[in-house]
Amino acid sequence: MNVLYPVFVMFALTFFVQIQLGMKRVAAVSGGRIDPKYYRAYQGADEPEDLQIYSRHLINLYEAPVLFYVIVIIASVTGQAGTLPILLAWLYSLLRLAHSYVHLGSNKVLLRFRLFLASLLVLAALWGTVLIGMLMR
């Protein structure tokens, strides 16, 4: 198994959310829910709540996951992509999928927070595992 496969999962998730957001924005403008001028500088009347949720979620996919991409590349380049890092990488990507499902679906805040926190802990464990492996080499 390759440690890079979960990166493709994260790419697919990010790409999916980006496309969904674009389609929702087009529908909102076409349906008269928001003035297209809003998107010139993102000022004026607020976006409808569903668009705000998708926008915020997309931004979130460019925050902590960046640290995931970095550590997976480090693990791959340094030869630290053994069983545990691979399992942690898969667990991280699956937790992020679950987080997205909740955030863009029911949006139950406590469940969403728990999934986010779990993903951060897994990410920290992945960083620690790779670092220890590098130090012991």
Q: What is the mean pLDDT of residues 63-91?
A: 98
Reported pTM:
0.94
Q: What is the mean pLDDT of residues 13-18?
A: 98
CATH number where 22 lies: 1.20.120.550
Contact 88, 132 (CB under 8 A): no
* Band of pLDDT at residue 46, cut at 50, 70 and 90: confident
- Structure confidence by residue, pLDDT tens digits, 97-131: 999 999 999 999 999 999 999 999 999 999 999 99
* Band of pLDDT at residue 50, cut at 50, 70 and 90: very high
Tell me how many domains the chain contains: 1
Contact 36, 25 (CB under 8 A): no
State the Cα–Cα distance between residues 90 and 125, nearest whole angstrom.
13
Helix, strand, or coil here: 35? coil
Q: Which residues constitute the domain of residue 29? A: 5-136
State the Cα–Cα distance between residues 135 and 137, nearest whole angstrom.
6
Name the DSSP class of 105. T
5: enclosing H helix or E strand: helix 5-30
- Structure confidence by residue, pLDDT tens digits, 88-104: 999 999 999 999 999 99
Contact 85, 123 (CB under 8 A): no
* Band of pLDDT at residue 45, cut at 50, 70 and 90: confident
Q: What is the mean pLDDT of the chain?
A: 97
